[in-house]
Structure 1
Amino acid sequence: MPVAPKRMPFFEHIAELRKRLIVVVVTVVVLALGLYTWGWQIFDFVLRPVQSALELAGAEKLNILGPFATFTLRFKVATYAAIVVASPIIIWQVMAFFLPALKPKEQRYVVPTFGTMVALFIGGIAFCYIVVAPTAFEWMVAQAGGNSVQVLPDAALWFQAVLLLLFAFGLGFQLPVIVFYLMIFNIVPYNKLRANWRYAYVIIVTTAAIATPDWSPVTMGALAAALIVLYEGSMLLARIVLSRRIGEQKRREAIMAAGGDPDEIDALDA
């Protein structure tokens, strides 16, 4: 997909934003209409991780209340599925809109960042789907205690709950990208983040508590643990990149001190 030109007047920026929003909306609408046919298959797939929780609640099937709820739920399923399928296009449109504001040297990070964000989003959803959701929903159903309270699973509410949890993990897994660029662009120096790791961990745990829709210790703990691992991974990667940058700076200074060829310096900047 084309990327916007480098410099544009304000109204051209608005037109560019409008064009990219249209691409996103049309993509989601077309996909939603196409996926409506497989709405119930997608619904069953999304709810598969919580099947054990449903059995624990003694529910063979989920409940739909109201005559219009079947169509509404099926259409919502198709729309949410369309957003997930279109997420690479959505992420790219957002990045391509902001790309002209970056310097040429900074623009080389765009494609790797795009791939990383998509991979992390999918990885977060997969981690929640396979590892977290089954245990989390079993724990929540077990809170009924088997006393005078009976769990009556509503199809729409359970689907939304699972979906919110999946999206929370998908979005939460974007943390390494944010941390990486905070250090690469020297917004927050690496040494400062490394020295204040305790504060960083507190922020991560707080973010996990806010991001998880159920606030249960199972989901908060799983998301916080995963984010801490990803945070440390982004710190390691940033350290490698910054070390290379320092090495390039030293070579550049050595070339300049020796009265070297300017083309050699330009080659280092490329």
Structure 2
Amino acid sequence: MPLDQIEEEVEMSFLDHLEELRWHLIRSLGAIMVFAVAAFFAKNLVFHTILLGPSRIDFWTYEMLCRLSEILKSEALCIDELPFIIQSRKMTGQFSMHVTSSFVVGIICAFPYAFWEIWRFIKPGLYPTERKAARGATFFVSFLFIIGVLFGYFVVTPISINFLSNYQLDPSILNEFDIISYISTVITLVLACGILFQLPIVVYFLTRAGLITPEIMRTYRKHAIIVILILGAMLTPPDPFSQILIAMPLFGLYQVSIFISARVIKKEQSTELQKVDE
């Protein structure tokens, strides 16, 4: 076969892959837009109930903390006041945050489907052993993302809002937060937790690729703590409280990741022994 014909077939194959990727991305974006439009019209649910929920003392987390305070017979945990108000200081502030927040809600709701679409594109290019090893990837990635989002919304966000609203340089300074600042903080905390909770999945694939081992992770545990604290500082508002709140579960996930890495290595060694025996 002439060389130019071979190159043409290779080029067409590459273009076919691009075309396939394009349709996967289009379907993913379509799912995001469907949820975004639904969130845009469900304004009362998305904003009053969900996004503005942590700004009111009747939020679920605050009520649970007050109940825990009653059980412990201590008022230290009960949050019965959030000394701040939310304002819109820009003419387009509320509308722009309405559109932006609806799109972010669309991303969160459509994440499992969007990841499944991308995985469908990647999966055919893997070897059979790699496909078998990555079985259930969509479920576990989506599960950890949802757990991270829920943790960020029900734990990190309300406690961070309580800390920031009660922090004062001087009693004469009133906390009057702009709607853009408030919504951006909530979205950042929630998405950051959702993304950072993917650590076990990342460790699993890096171990499969032979890039890390449980011994390496144990050796560099102290360095990992510093990296986790830096990530927490980068992905949260500029206060140490939020940073620590995200760093604590991340360190727990790091410990779980060591166990996962050890299981992967043990399974690979068992498979190699079986091949040798055969």
Q: Which TM class, normalised by the smaller chain length?
A: 0.7 to 0.9
Alignment match of 1:33 (pick from 33, 37, 45): 37
Correspondence 1:159 to 2:183: yes
Distance (whole Å) between structure 2 residues aligned to residue 170 and residue 54 of structure 1: 28
Correspondence 1:116 to 2:140: yes
Distance (whole Å) between structure 1 residues aligned to residue 125 and residue 228 of structure 2: 29
Which residue identity is paired with 1:57?
Answer: P
Alignment match of 1:239 (pick from 246, 259, 262): 262
Which residue identity is paired with 1:167?
Answer: L
Which residue identity is paired with 2:258?
Answer: M
Shift of 1:165: 0.8
Alignment match of 2:56 (pick from 51, 54, 57): 51
Shift of 1:221: 0.8
Query: For residues 168-203 of structure 1, what are the alpha-carbon distances to aligned partners after superposition, in whole Å with 9 as ceiling and x for unaligned?
Result: 111111111111211122122332223222222222
Q: Is the Cα–Cα contact under 8 Å of residues 213 and 261 in structure 2 kept in the other structure?
A: no
Comparing 142-151 with 224-233, greater Cα deviation is found at 142-151
Which residue identity is paired with 1:29?
Answer: M
1:97: which partner in 2? Answer: 121
Q: Taking structure 1 as the reference length, what is the TM-score of the superposition?
A: 0.82
CA RMSD of aligned residues (A): 2.2
**1:197-212 equivalence runs, <5 A:** 197-212=221-236
Q: Secondary structure of 1:9's partner?
A: helix
Q: Is the Cα–Cα contact under 8 Å of residues 24 and 117 in structure 2 kept in the other structure?
A: yes
Which residue identity is paired with 2:271?
Answer: E
Shift of 1:67: 4.9
Correspondence 1:81 to 2:105: yes
Q: Secondary structure of 1:99's partner?
A: helix
- Relative to structure 1, the CA distance from residue 71 to residue 199 in structure 2 (aligned partners, 3 Å threshold; closer, same or farther) is closer
Distance (whole Å) between structure 1 residues aligned to residue 233 and residue 204 of structure 2: 22
Q: Is the Cα–Cα contact under 8 Å of residues 32 and 106 in structure 2 kept in the other structure?
A: yes
Shift of 1:64: 2.8
1:177: which partner in 2? Answer: 201
Which residue identity is paired with 1:131?
Answer: V
Task: Give ranges in structure 1 of 5+ residues lacking alignment.
Answer: 1-7, 256-270
| Aligned-pair identity (%) | 24
1:22: which partner in 2? Answer: 26
Query: For residues 76-120 of structure 1, what are the alpha-carbon distances to aligned partners after superposition, in whole Å with 9 as ceiling and x for unaligned?
Result: 332221111101112122222222332111112334221111111
Distance (whole Å) between structure 2 residues aligned to residue 54 and residue 21 of structure 1: 46
Comparing 220-229 with 26-35, greater Cα deviation is found at 26-35
- Relative to structure 1, the CA distance from residue 156 to residue 54 in structure 2 (aligned partners, 3 Å threshold; closer, same or farther) is farther
1:187: which partner in 2? Answer: 211
Which residue identity is paired with 2:264?
Answer: V
